[in-house]
Amino acid sequence: MTDGPAESDGPAESDGSTGADGSTEADGSGDGRARDGSAPDGVRNAGYDDWLDRLATGDGYYLESPEGYGALPPRRVCPETGSTELSEEPLPEVGRIEAFTVVHVPPPRFADDAPYVTAIADFGPVRLTGVLRGTEADDDAIDIGQAVTVGVERRETDDGRVVAFRPA
């Protein structure tokens, strides 16, 4: 099994100050990130933010072990084999929806985006989780197996970056 892009070496550093609900002062999300989705004080989530930058320019990639297993950055070791010899391989241009859900009650960072569709798409050696755009947020408008492309777009709520799928 492969990992989605949300997996990282851990959340961005935070000063530890939290509200009564466990949220940080930065944005109320509890993960220490600023309202635009970036880490506080311009700190980058090494590996993941670099991967998003490349995906945004159309140069998406995944990491492949010598045995052919795919994983998404940041990753230093193949989760299947333990190999440290990972090569960057181009992400396939088209994937297929494997699962989705229509979100009507969103978390604060997506409040103005609702309703929206969160989907998992198979891109060959890896699966990606993202927001499906360019289609109605309705169960009947989306098909399992539907072909999609992937890129990076902005949330309406706070202009933060998200992995986004669009019908191919």
**In this predicted structure, what is the pLDDT of residue 116?**
96
Does residue 153 belong to any structural domain of this protein?
yes
Does residue 150 belong to any structural domain of this protein?
yes
Tell me which residue range forms the domain holding 136. 40-167
Does residue 128 belong to any structural domain of this protein?
yes
Concatenated DSSP letters for the chain?
A: ----TT--SSPPP----B-TTS-BTTTSSSSS--TTSSPGGG---TTHHHHHHHHHTT--EEEE-TT--EEPSS-SS-TTT-----EEEEPPS-EEEEEEEEESS--GGGGGG-SEEEEEEEETTEEEEEEE-SS-SSGGG--TT-EEEEEEEE-TTT--EEEEEEE-
Does residue 72 belong to any structural domain of this protein?
yes
State percent of the chain over pLDDT 70: 75
What pTM does this model have?
A: 0.74
Does residue 96 belong to any structural domain of this protein?
yes
Does residue 154 belong to any structural domain of this protein?
yes
**120-140 mean pLDDT:** 95
pLDDT tens digits for range 44-60: 888 899 999 999 999 99
Domain count within the chain: 1
Does the pLDDT value for residue 20 go beyond 60? no
